[in-house]
């Protein structure tokens, strides 16, 4: 810490905004926040941090791209820093556990934790399926781990082998609970939660984009008198994202997409299709027409998926064609455009998709192709967004 002067991190008070300075965070953590360029808290951070830093259980309702990952990581890192263990923890005995539905999201959380805690002694590790099992096992045995980020299936494998002991977990985070439910992970998550201390003896932070009856039941089961913080979808979808709905026949979608890319040359764009086969078919069509891109779907090998994400982040490729589940792991600032090649059947997925752009205060553009097939999904989407959708012809 000797080579950093906290006085360099000057953020002026602003009406209606909270600064990270306002939460008396540990100095090494503040340095990590400073190095990442964070200035003011997002709404979900402003709502969650006063509660979570005071050890309350929290249920948070927010879309992707609102800053909830940083909110729970700041809470965990602060807790570990301010409550040092009297003796080092045993290998495989994490102090905090973060459960995520997809490998990409878990790895993204791991990366964010390491970036925020780069000047702290707390250690973070992710265990996920689709990657070298023995290597992860060796790392678990190599030394104490403060923050363990995991997908449910792989974590159960390690728990069953006694490579991981969850009896000492002090903070449990369940991220994207609605997606856990959709993907059928709830029985696995329930088994994992029962391996942690009772909810009276741990802090639980529970996040979900939606809180229907099923999600509410999960929240009630796993949290203790939680404080609820809700950031409504409209704040995510309309403030910073210009939304366009283009009438395009199903037969002409691919050609229109190529024309748009060649004319607009978006800096960084995500293209969403509804199915894996559509993703690969569209990827091949774009490549055939001279557009460099990569597919991202559940059947793409994990090593390839990570390579694709890294190239996308670093500007090696400008376009990714993705399914909704694979797209959940894409947390990249600077995405200028999101294209809904197909309108999603679930209106909530629309919000998740366009939430990939317009992040970190930047503006973004979403373009949805509406064909004769997609039109059936419009009424439900209008109800969800609370407004009438105007469909127009492409503006070129």
Spatial CB neighbours of 294, under 8 Å, sequence gap ≥ 6 = 283, 308, 311, 312, 317, 319, 320, 321
The rounded distance, in Å, linking the Cα atoms of 380 and 363 is 26
pLDDT in tens, the chain (396 residues): 457 788 878 888 888 889 998 899 999 999 999 888 888 898 999 999 999 999 999 999 987 677 899 999 999 999 999 999 988 889 999 999 999 998 888 998 999 999 999 999 999 999 998 888 999 999 999 999 999 999 999 999 999 999 999 999 999 999 999 889 888 899 999 999 999 999 999 999 999 988 888 999 999 999 999 999 988 654 444 567 889 999 999 999 999 999 999 999 999 999 999 888 899 999 999 999 999 999 988 777 767 877 888 888 888 999 999 987 666 656 677 889 999 999 988 887 888 788 778 765 567 899 999 998 888 888 888 888 878 899 999 977
Give, for 187, the enclosing helix (H) or strand (E). Answer: helix 186-195
The rounded distance, in Å, linking the Cα atoms of 204 and 175 is 11
Q: What angle do CA 273, 279, 285 make, to 5 degrees?
A: 115
Do 114 and 124 form a contact (C-beta atoms < 8 A)?
Answer: yes
The rounded distance, in Å, linking the Cα atoms of 160 and 153 is 11
At 327 the pLDDT is 67
Q: What angle do CA 372, 377, 379 make, to 5 degrees?
A: 110
At 239 the pLDDT is 61
Tokens of 355: 């939430």
Do 19 and 74 form a contact (C-beta atoms < 8 A)?
Answer: no
What are the structural domain ranges in the chain? Answer: 6-231, 235-385
Burial class (CB in 10 A: 0-12, 13-18, 19+), 265: exposed
CATH fold of the domain at 6-231: Rossmann fold (3.40.50)
User: Angle between the 103-116 and 68-82 helix axes, to the nearest 10 degrees?
Assistant: 50
Do 353 and 341 form a contact (C-beta atoms < 8 A)?
Answer: no
At 291 the pLDDT is 95
SS3 141: helix
Q: Where are the beta strands (DSSP E) in the chain?
A: 58-61, 96-99, 124-127, 147-150, 171-174, 203-208, 227-230, 241-247, 269-272, 294-296, 319-322, 337-340, 364-370
The rounded distance, in Å, linking the Cα atoms of 219 and 232 is 18
One fold for 6-231 and 235-385: yes
Q: Which of 204, 235, 325, 329 is nearest to 275 (CA)?
A: 325
Chain centroid to CA 36: how far? 17
Q: Which CA distances in Å does 165 have to 94, 107, 140, 195?
A: 8, 21, 11, 8
Spatial CB neighbours of 81, under 8 Å, sequence gap ≥ 6 = 26, 28, 29, 120, 122
pTM exceeds cut of 0.85: no
Q: What's 235-385's CATH class? A: alpha beta
Tokens of 345: 């059947």
């Amino acid at each position: 810490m000797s080579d950093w002067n906290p006085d360099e991190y000057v953020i002026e008070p602003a009406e209606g905004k909270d600064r990270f300075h306002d939460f008396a965070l540990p100095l090494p953590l503040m340095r990590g926040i400073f190095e990442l360029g964070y200035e003011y808290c997002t709404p979900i951070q402003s709502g969650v941090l006063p509660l979570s830093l005071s050890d309350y259980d929290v249920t948070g309702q927010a879309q992707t791209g609102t800053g909830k990952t940083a909110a729970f990581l700041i809470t965990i890192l602060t807790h570990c820093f301010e409550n040092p263990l009297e003796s080092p923890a045993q290998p495989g005995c994490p102090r905090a556990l973060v459960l995520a539905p997809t490998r990409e999201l878990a790895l993204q959380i791991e990366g964010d934790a390491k970036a925020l805690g780069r000047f702290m002694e707390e250690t973070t590790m992710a265990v996920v399926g689709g990657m070298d099992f023995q290597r992860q096992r060796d790392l678990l045995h190599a030394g104490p781990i403060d923050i363990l980020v995991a997908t449910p299936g792989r974590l159960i494998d390690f728990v069953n082998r006694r490579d991981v002991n969850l009896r000492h977990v002090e903070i449990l985070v369940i991220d994207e609970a609605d997606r856990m439910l959709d993907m059928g992970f709830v029985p696995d998550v329930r088994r994992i939660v029962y391996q942690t201390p009772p909810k009276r003896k741990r802090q639980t932070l529970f996040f979900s984009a939606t809180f229907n009856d099923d999600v509410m039941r999960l929240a009630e089961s796993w949290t203790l008198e939680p404080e609820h913080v809700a950031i409504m979808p409209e704040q995510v979808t309309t403030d910073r994202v210009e939304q366009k709905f283009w009438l395009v026949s199903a037969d002409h979608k691919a050609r229109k997409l190529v024309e748009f890319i060649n004319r607009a040359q978006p800096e960084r764009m995500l293209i969403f299709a509804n199915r894996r086969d559509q993703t690969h078919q569209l990827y091949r069509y774009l490549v055939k027409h001279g557009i460099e891109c990569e597919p991202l779907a559940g059947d793409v090998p994990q090593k390839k998926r990570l390579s694709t994400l890294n190239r996308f982040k670093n500007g090696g490729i400008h376009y990714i064609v993705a399914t909704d589940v694979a797209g959940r792991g894409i947390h990249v600032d600077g995405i200028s455009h999101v294209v809904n090649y197909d309108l999603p059947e679930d209106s909530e997925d629309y919000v998740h998709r366009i939430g990939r752009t317009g992040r970190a205060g930047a503006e973004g553009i979403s373009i949805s192709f509406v064909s004769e097939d997609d039109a059936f999904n419009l009424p439900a989407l209008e109800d969800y967004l609370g407004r009438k959708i105007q469909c127009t012809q492409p503006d070129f």
